[in-house]
Amino acid sequence: MPRGIATRNRIKQAALELFVAKGVLGTSVRDIAALAEIAEGGLYRHYASKEDLAWKLFSENYAGLAKELHDLAKTKGDFASRLGAMIQHFCRFFDEEPLMFRFLLLTQHQELPKLRAKSQSPVQALHKLVVDAKKQGEIAVEDVDLVTAQILGLILQPATFMVYGLLAPGMQRVEAETVAACLKVVAASSPYQRKSSSPGLTRGSTSAAKLLPTDPRPSLNKGGPGDDGDKMRVRGSK
């Protein structure tokens, strides 16, 4: 690997660790340079400023994650299987790249407002999945925005508890329960839930048994947390 690329990767990894631990505002260029084992001036050969580094680290990886989720949302299968595939992706992302997961989805920073309105995001991927399923008659929900927020909360809150040691680690360990809980939210949001015994379904749509399978995980290849779980990689790279 060329020296310049290796240095740039060390800067990114150092910045990721510090941004997660201290926040972007609480991290200085000196902090990043010291952890990356370079001179302060060396950082400016690769990035215009700390803010430029934070933005590129966030935007490139956030867009990559969004694309991966949008691709899963477009795969063949019913709503439950596509939602299960997306949740599986979130769970593996947390287990294999915990720092990047925290930086993109849990850390409060100033990068989100910089995204363009039409930029792809993980939230939009989930929202589009719910909207499309409603249009196709697979589910019957009244407020797609609320349902999207509830699904995302059921994914991110266990991850937050794990970060703070309030829940045993391993998002893949609770993947099936997370999928089932999200499907129950969809079912409970149906107007028919309050009027009949067919929760979350339009007339003639998928049965409740199919919407709430015994093991809702999709049959995708599983993989445990990688040996380099705390190492940064750009989303979407091989």
Residue 158: closest CA among 139, 176, 178: 178
Residue 99 vs residues 14, 22, 84, 170: alpha-carbon distances, Å: 11, 12, 23, 14
Residue 213 in this model has a pLDDT that exceeds 70 = no
| The token pair that represents 82 in the structure block | 């596509």
Question: Does 137 or 115 have the greater pLDDT score?
Answer: 137
| The token pair that represents 200 in the structure block | 């979350």
pLDDT at res. 64: 94
Instruction: Specify the number of domains making up the chain.
Output: 2
pLDDT at res. 120: 79
Name the band, by pLDDT with cuts 50, 70 and 90, for residue 202: very low
pLDDT at res. 222: 38
Does residue 201 share a domain with residue 91? yes
CA-angle at 180, arms to 67 and 151, nearest 5°: 45
Residue 155 in this model has a pLDDT that exceeds 60 = yes
pLDDT at res. 108: 67
Question: Does 37 or 216 have the greater pLDDT score?
Answer: 37
Residue 53: closest CA among 37, 42, 67: 42
Domain carrying residue 43: 1-47
pLDDT at res. 139: 94
Residue 68 in this model has a pLDDT that exceeds 70 = yes
pTM to 2 decimal places: 0.80
Does residue 77 share a domain with residue 2? no
In DSSP notation, 39-101 reads: -HHHHTTT-SSHHHHHHHHHHHHHHHHHHHHHHHHTSSS-HHHHHHHHHHHHHHHHHH-HHHH
Residue 92 vs residues 71, 135, 225: alpha-carbon distances, Å: 16, 29, 7
Residue 235 lies in a domain: no
Name the band, by pLDDT with cuts 50, 70 and 90, for residue 230: low
* Count of alpha carbons within 13 angstroms of residue 129, beta-carbon side: 34
Does residue 134 share a domain with residue 97? yes
Does residue 87 share a domain with residue 205? yes
Does residue 204 share a domain with residue 106? yes
Does residue 17 share a domain with residue 126? no
pLDDT digits (tens, 9 = 90+) for 70-95: 999 999 899 999 999 999 999 999 99
| The token pair that represents 211 in the structure block | 């919407």
Among 25-34, 84-93, 110-119, where is mean pLDDT lowest?
A: 110-119
Contacts of 156 by beta carbon, 8 Å cutoff, 6+ apart? 105, 106
Residue 19 lies in a domain: yes
Residue 194 in this model has a pLDDT that exceeds 80 = no
Does residue 80 share a domain with residue 42? no
Residue 228 lies in a domain: no
Residue 177: closest CA among 91, 97, 55: 91
pLDDT at res. 114: 76
pLDDT at res. 234: 55
Averaged over 171-200, what is the pLDDT? 79
First to last CA, the chain: 16
Residue 115 in this model has a pLDDT that exceeds 80 = no
Residue 207 lies in a domain: yes
Averaged over 101-129, what is the pLDDT? 83
Does residue 82 share a domain with residue 34? no
Task: Give the CATH number for residue 143.
Answer: 1.10.357.10
